Amino acid sequence: MIVLFTDFGAGGPYVGQMKAVLLREAPDVPIVDLFADLPPFDPQGAAYLLAAYGSEFASGTVFLCVIDPGVGGDRRALVAEADGQYYVGPDNGLLAIILRRATSPRLWDIDWRPERLSSSFHGRDLFAPIAGRLAVGQPPDGSKLSIAEAERPEWPDDLPTIVYVDGFGNAMTGLRASTLTARSTLLAGDRKLVRAETFGAVPEGDAFWYENANGLAEIAVNKGNAASELGLAPGSPIEVAGAI
């Protein structure tokens, strides 16, 4: 399958135009919309989400990843292979965490360019054709790179920041819950939040943090909106009290 991971938003023509290219290149491969509403212009926050959610898909999945505020500039276009999955996207750190956590990563600089390459929509003109070809078994068309060439060594292994807010107002962090303990307290806004296993484990209206279905520490309010009640948004810092 091909998985879409973008900050384009659900409205507008952008996702539809990329799907049209994918269906031209790989007409029999299903397309999955994973995220279309990632926080815009934030490849760092998205990198931690990609690492958490990418691991849930089957080997052979191709991820088309477009959070690309530097489109049209001198950043490279990359194909990464991480533990049997392919990732296509810009060289702006978006693929750095998935590469860091992989046991057998490989990396290529995309050499191919289409006859028509717009300066503002490489998702359609460059990344989507490559993703479609990978999905039908074609090898990466590019120059081999060392993993170090796409690293972001200044980025932490886990990001103590809100990276995404869902439609319920639950706020995902870039922290893997496995790096925390049952007694860890998260400081978000002006609130101290303890861990709970489920929403129903706390009284209605109480805020808490829990391990979400993809292994990230997530902040929620039972039958409430954590983002609005705690003043959280993508980029909001989180502190951890106690040993990590």
Domains of the chain: 2-150 (3.40.50.10790), 159-241 (2.40.30.90)
pTM of the predicted structure, to 2 decimals: 0.95
Neighbours of 1 (CB within 10 A): 14
Task: State pLDDT tens for residues 180-239.
Answer: 999 999 999 889 999 999 999 999 999 999 999 999 999 999 999 999 999 999 999 999
Question: What confidence score (pLDDT) does residue 242 get?
Answer: 67
Closest to 50 measured CA to CA, from 91, 97, 106? 97
Task: State pLDDT tens for residues 5-57.
Answer: 999 998 899 999 999 999 999 999 999 999 999 999 999 999 999 999 998 89
Question: What confidence score (pLDDT) does residue 244 get?
Answer: 46
Neighbours of 76 (CB within 10 A): 15
d(CA 226, CA 18): 33
